[in-house]
């Protein structure tokens, strides 16, 4: 009986110790874990969620995130290839790809953040110092793509504000990602993306950048104005040509109508003259009086003038009467 009690006591103590040692643990979705025994990893990485078992007291569960994590660096002053200093602020997204390698190399997320500081900062510094400032702040040649590529224009672009870029900010970002991805896997880390959040300039560089931007916009504006003037001149020339054509056709038509009217008038005059030459002569003389004499006109002529013949003719009434009878 005593032996039985002793065994029950031993079993009870063992159970209590096991429960105190907490042999159960829960792995949630979005987590992964490795088991360490006396500080050394044992077994495989645990990635499935659920209730799990471990050996109490001698085994420890180390949890790691499966989700994408954020890295934010500190703004760093870096010189460009053309010796212009700028402040570059970068950010990145990463995740733990190999928890075992991650645990052995950097231990936890804090260690990973410090390691990423070195990896990403060095990659950004190498990329920035290898390119000119214009390639860091601009992504395309959109502003100057429409300019005429004549020899003089090309020289002006190369020497002036509109400098062409061969890399650009987007390709620079891809170059940084490529450099970081070569180093990160040795720490069990996968780099998802690296972005330049902000580029700030020191005072001297800022003034030069503003001057360059103003010169670029002025040059682009002048190009558009020049194109507009060319289109305007073309439209005005076309309109003037069409106007001359319309006026020419109208003048031609008017002359034709006038010619027809003159011909009809001449015919009417001729018919009237042939019917009664004396009466026609009388009407034309009256028309001449009306066109040449008014109340403000003083006329000095001789009495034997043809102009005055109807006034001195005493047989005017008889002539008129005989003309009407005809």
Domain at 157, CATH number: 3.30.479.30
- The residue range of the domain holding 320 is 276-325
Give residue 47's pLDDT band: very low, low, confident or very high (50, 70, 90).
very high
The answer on pLDDT for 46 being more than 50 is yes
The answer on pLDDT for 104 being more than 80 is yes
Q: Which of 30, 46, 65 is the last residue of a domain?
A: 65
What 3 state SS string does 140-183 have? CCCCCCCCCCCHHHHHHHHHCCCCCCCCHHHHHHHHHHHHHHHH
143 and 173 co-located in one domain: yes
**Residue 27: inside a domain, yes or no?**
yes
The answer on pLDDT for 4 being more than 60 is yes
Contact 100, 77 (CB under 8 A): no
Q: Which residue has the higher pLDDT, 325 or 305?
A: 305
**Of 85-89, 116-120, 185-189, which gets the smallest average pLDDT?**
85-89
Dist. CA 208–CA 27, nearest whole Å: 56
Q: How many domains does the chain have?
A: 3
**Residue 183: inside a domain, yes or no?**
yes
From the list 67, 192, 200, the residue with the least C-alpha distance to 120 is 192
| DSSP-assigned beta bridge partners for residue 190 | 95
163 and 197 co-located in one domain: yes
**Residue 206: inside a domain, yes or no?**
no
Residue 175: the pLDDT is 94
Residue 155: the pLDDT is 46
- Percent of the chain beyond pLDDT 70? 78
Other Cβ atoms less than 10 A from the Cβ of 88: the count is: 21
Q: pLDDT tens for residues 71-96?
A: 999 999 999 998 888 999 999 999 99
pTM, two decimal places: 0.58
Buried/exposed code over 206-219 (b: 16+ C-beta within 10 A; e: otherwise) = eeebeebeeebeeb
| DSSP-assigned beta bridge partners for residue 63 | 33
61 and 110 co-located in one domain: no
**Phi/psi of residue 171, nearest 5 degrees:** -70, -30
Q: Which residues contact 113 (CB under 8 A, 6 or more apart)?
A: 71
Q: Which two tokens stand for residue 148?
A: 């005429």
33 and 74 co-located in one domain: no
The answer on pLDDT for 151 being more than 50 is no
156 and 280 co-located in one domain: no
Q: Which of 65, 84, 107 is the last residue of a domain?
A: 65
Contact 96, 189 (CB under 8 A): yes
């Amino acid at each position: 009986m005593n032996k039985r009690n002793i065994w029950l006591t031993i079993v009870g103590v063992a159970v209590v110790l096991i429960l105190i040692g907490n042999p159960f643990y829960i792995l949630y979705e979005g987590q992964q874990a490795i088991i360490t025994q006396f500080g050394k990893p044992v077994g495989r990485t645990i990635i499935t969620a659920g209730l799990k078992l471990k050996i109490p007291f001698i085994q420890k569960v180390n949890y790691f995130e499966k989700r994408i994590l954020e890295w934010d660096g500190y703004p760093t002053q870096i010189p460009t290839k053309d010796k212009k200093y700028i402040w570059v602020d970068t950010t990145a997204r990463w995740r733990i790809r190999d928890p075992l390698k991650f645990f052995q190399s950097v231990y936890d997320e804090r260690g990973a953040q410090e390691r990423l500081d070195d990896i990403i900062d060095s990659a950004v510094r190498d990329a920035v110092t290898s390119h000119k400032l214009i390639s860091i702040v601009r992504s395309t040649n959109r502003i100057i793509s429409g300019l005429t590529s004549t020899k003089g224009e090309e020289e002006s672009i190369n020497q002036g504000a509109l400098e062409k870029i061969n890399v650009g900010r987007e390709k620079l970002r891809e170059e940084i990602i490529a450099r970081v991805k070569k180093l990160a896997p040795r720490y069990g880390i996968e780099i998802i993306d690296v972005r330049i959040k902000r580029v700030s300039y020191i005072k001297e560089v800022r003034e030069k950048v503003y001057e360059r931007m103003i010169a670029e916009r002025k040059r682009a504006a002048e190009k558009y104005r020049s194109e507009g003037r060319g289109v305007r001149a073309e439209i005005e020339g076309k309109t003037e040509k069409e106007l001359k054509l319309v006026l020419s056709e109208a003048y031609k038509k008017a002359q034709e109508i006038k010619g027809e009217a003159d011909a009809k008038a001449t015919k009417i005059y001729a018919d009237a003259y042939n019917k009664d030459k004396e009466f026609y002569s009388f009407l034309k003389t009256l028309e001449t009086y009306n066109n040449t004499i008014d109340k403000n006109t003083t006329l000095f002529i001789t009495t034997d003038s043809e102009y005055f013949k109807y006034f001195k003719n005493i047989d005017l009434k008889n002539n008129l009467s005989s003309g009407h009878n005809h």
